Structure 1
């Protein structure tokens, strides 16, 4: 990431491999706001429209955009190369551009520059910005995939504009964690008696990133990413920002709303992090949700007749034990209990790849770790035009909180959660070590959001990344949050649930807010 105009950082990138497919699922119905009843109707049913929540502002009208200060050029071939074999089918055309935004680190407020990469797709006259997760697929690729799963009316009403948020993708990416630290973090066994090796890996990551980035390190956070979106809105020449936030990307949009309340347009959060809990409580809720998601995966396995069948849980545990005795050697990293856990969590998060995840576990049982390792490669390896995702994920998460959990506290939580949450409790407890060695950021006073138009929050019943209860609390924290809950599994409902996707379509295109508490069947 560069601090001055024109500064470029050499990098190679890794092509993303997450496939987002639209599942033709049943429609949804509106229920009470607390634990609504699911009423499955015919495929022709649509989410019911409701009046705007009392006390909120009206949904802003759609506005046309222009980008005279941005130079767009075709990037179809490079975008498809970055997505690899999982690139959407069809003759999709993509254009890319770069916007210079302010680095704005605490030591130099308002000064310094970095490049923010953009991708657009669609023919609509209004812009719809797509913001992803710092440790996930870059927003440019997220937008490219999303175009293939959204209804045609959305793409004819809007032009999707994907954003590689600061430090990710092609936006002057963070790439400072040594290979040894990356591998050490991911390969670390959640079942280990001691956390010492993992502490050492995070300490090495922190030391090298502080040395490599110096005063730029505090600039990679969600607070400044929200200011980047305001510069993008200004560059597009529109009075309001329409946007979709995926998972932790929703935090960027909530910060944007708090900072620029008069600029809020039509916003959809597909999974949102819990704003009410500290890091320890969030980690425990994720451990619970991950266990629930694996149960949903096992039930799905039985229904589909996948090779794991009803024994998925026992076979997964047995695989970890086998890898503990004899890891499967790989070229860049080994398949260990830690790598396998990371891979399974990545697979559980992507509902469209549950079938592939089951096959990968079976292959690993037979001594072939390549398929399971493929789920982890985007975190660890740089290839083509994308850097390893783990760097920006750790740094952004640690810059977004002043909370640091001492290693001795983590050791106690690890033992406790290992007993309470057998599949993933120890893993999530040990992840609390990540920020310990990193500098504590300067606290930011976030303005209180008082008035706002309705904002749609999609939740997923079994979501291992942004658990449903936390996303519901995120909606409750908004002045006019509207919840649509999908009773499915995986991370995110948009493009997976036809019902949730329809609700988003009507909200974005027609400004129709569904009844809060609407439930979409699995």
Structure 2
């Protein structure tokens, strides 16, 4: 029986439920090159040469053609910020040029940690179309992610996801960490959120912006909070949506998320029944059906072509649609198909979560996540401690629990620290923090605690379901965010948006 290794998740790397850019009928006929001049300390990074994007990947892992107006570029940043004139690495960028009267740049981080901002922005242009009329929409692959010295671990992701036993899981976690050191040893000591925040300030300078205007989702709220802590005077208009509290321990994170996903699963089951659900006549029956489906895969994985839908992959497949209410019908359809012997959609959902590409290779989403999580924490949970965490998760939301007590950080080759846990943006411009009452991955309580830590935070409460309140299309949330980013109008204290 295969058992997945414990993974300390934060947020999905895909924007579930958001609009994606339509592909043009054919690529632009000629290369369009533009240069953004740098100012201030620009000599450290140089200008950004924007050119046609050539290596974008869609959510299905296949190459994709960018929409009109989408450009790519790169800047160089120090591998070690303590040695600004030393070795450099490339930071991959993407830009969607403002369609109207330009206010400046708005930089996005879509979460993870480990999500490619380059690929996600290429898919998400329609979701931020209103903002795109006044801003150049900019994103990037943070250091250690994909094109920006992405962390690679010897093709070990499949092994990371599954193990035969606790002892085997611990062995594979050790082998995975060793493979990361072998393939990415140069960058591993320098990944993490503090270094990414310093890169972000160099990006601001390279874009020619006096202040950084920023939109962070999920893990992106952590990066934004760390930036505001280190560079409070450079904070422009900041929105942190689906806020993460970086002070929580691995155990607190896991237990809180288990509670959030359990509540989202219950809400899905109720909604499914209200829509004439194939999975059961009442919410309890729906939940039981999905749980029994997964349990059956422990001993008898479902064949999907030349692959198998295992219990561990099915866990990830069920979790993925719970991030957004718009994706709940997909979970119903995928589970119903699997009950009839067709696991294709569930396997596709798992692949979207793990970053598996059509050719069987993986993006760096999972490997980058591990590297950044381990860098941002001094914690090194042992197998015994991880087993205790899994036991607690299992009592709250069994679908999220791992049956293997292995943890990668216990064997990580680089010592982590807690520098990214210290948040205090005193002296910055107001920072809008959004928390969703029905957010499974970054529960509402984290938005309240992050707002207090920032000192300059202004909390907006969304009472609906889903991870990423702005992406739900809720009119109240859109109005509050757009008014701040486009006009500088700070939301009133206690702003609450009904579902």
Aligned to 2:111: 133
Moved more, 376-385 or 462-471: 376-385
Shift of 1:114: 1.1
Shift of 1:99: 1.1
1:119 maps onto 2:94 in alignment: yes
Q: Secondary structure at the match of 1:487?
A: strand
Which of 472, 476, 480 is residue 499 of structure 1 equivalent to? 476
Q: Secondary structure at the match of 2:391?
A: helix
Over 3 Å counting, the alpha-carbon distance change for 1:353 and 1:195 in structure 2 is same
Shift of 1:304: 3.0
- Using the alignment, how far apart are the partners of 1:217 and 1:156 within structure 2? 38
- Using the alignment, how far apart are the partners of 2:464 and 2:65 within structure 1? 25
Moved more, 306-315 or 271-280: 306-315
Q: Residues 125 and 157 of structure 1 are in contact (CA less than 8 Å); yes or no, is this contact kept in structure 2?
A: yes
Which of 50, 58, 62 is residue 82 of structure 1 equivalent to? 58
Q: Residues 130 and 142 of structure 1 are in contact (CA less than 8 Å); yes or no, is this contact kept in structure 2?
A: no
- Using the alignment, how far apart are the partners of 1:280 and 1:293 within structure 2? 20
Task: Write the deviation string for residues 279-306 of structure 1: whole angstroms up to 9, x where unpaired.
Answer: 2111111111110111122222223334
Q: Residues 280 and 432 of structure 1 are in contact (CA less than 8 Å); yes or no, is this contact kept in structure 2?
A: no
Equivalent runs, 1:232-247 vs 2, <5 Å: 232-247=203-218
Aligned to 1:513: 490
- Using the alignment, how far apart are the partners of 1:231 and 1:323 within structure 2? 48
- Using the alignment, how far apart are the partners of 1:177 and 1:500 within structure 2? 43
Q: Which runs of 5+ in 2 are unaligned?
A: 1-12, 21-35, 39-45
Q: Which runs of 5+ in 1 are unaligned?
A: 1-15, 24-64
Scaled by the length of structure 2, the TM-score of the pair is: 0.83
Q: Secondary structure at the match of 1:415?
A: helix
Over 3 Å counting, the alpha-carbon distance change for 1:198 and 1:471 in structure 2 is farther
Higher RCO structure (Cα 8 Å, ≥6 apart): 1
Task: Write the deviation string for residues 361-388 of structure 1: whole angstroms up to 9, x where unpaired.
Answer: 1111111111101112141524589724
Equivalent runs, 1:60-75 vs 2, <5 Å: 66=37, 69-75=47-53
Computed over aligned residues only, the root mean square deviation of the Cα atoms, in angstroms, reads: 3.0
Which of 401, 410, 415 is residue 426 of structure 1 equivalent to? 401
Equivalent runs, 1:309-348 vs 2, <5 Å: 309=280, 310=283, 311-330=285-304, 334-348=308-322
Q: Secondary structure at the match of 1:472?
A: helix
Aligned to 1:273: 244
Aligned to 1:260: 231
Over 3 Å counting, the alpha-carbon distance change for 1:408 and 1:394 in structure 2 is same
Query: How many residues end up aligned between the 2 structures?
Result: 454
Aligned to 1:165: 142
1:150 maps onto 2:125 in alignment: no
Over 3 Å counting, the alpha-carbon distance change for 1:276 and 1:399 in structure 2 is closer
Aligned to 2:382: 406
Aligned to 1:440: 415
Q: Secondary structure at the match of 1:71?
A: strand
Q: Residues 144 and 187 of structure 2 are in contact (CA less than 8 Å); yes or no, is this contact kept in structure 1?
A: no
Equivalent runs, 1:3-22 vs 2, <5 Å: 18-21=15-18
Q: Secondary structure at the match of 1:402?
A: coil
Shift of 1:514: 1.3
Over 3 Å counting, the alpha-carbon distance change for 1:431 and 1:138 in structure 2 is farther
Moved more, 169-178 or 237-246: 169-178
Aligned to 1:13: none
Shift of 1:207: 0.9
- Using the alignment, how far apart are the partners of 1:84 and 1:202 within structure 2? 27
Aligned to 2:185: 214
Q: Residues 118 and 161 of structure 1 are in contact (CA less than 8 Å); yes or no, is this contact kept in structure 2?
A: yes
Q: Residues 457 and 475 of structure 1 are in contact (CA less than 8 Å); yes or no, is this contact kept in structure 2?
A: yes
1:366 maps onto 2:340 in alignment: yes
Q: Residues 381 and 388 of structure 1 are in contact (CA less than 8 Å); yes or no, is this contact kept in structure 2?
A: no
Over 3 Å counting, the alpha-carbon distance change for 1:125 and 1:380 in structure 2 is closer
Task: Write the deviation string for residues 24-75 of structure 1: whole angstroms up to 9, x where unpaired.
Answer: xxxxxxxxxxxxxxxxxxxxxxxxxxxxxxxxxxxxxxxxx75581111122
- Using the alignment, how far apart are the partners of 2:69 and 2:362 within structure 1? 20
Q: Secondary structure at the match of 1:452?
A: coil
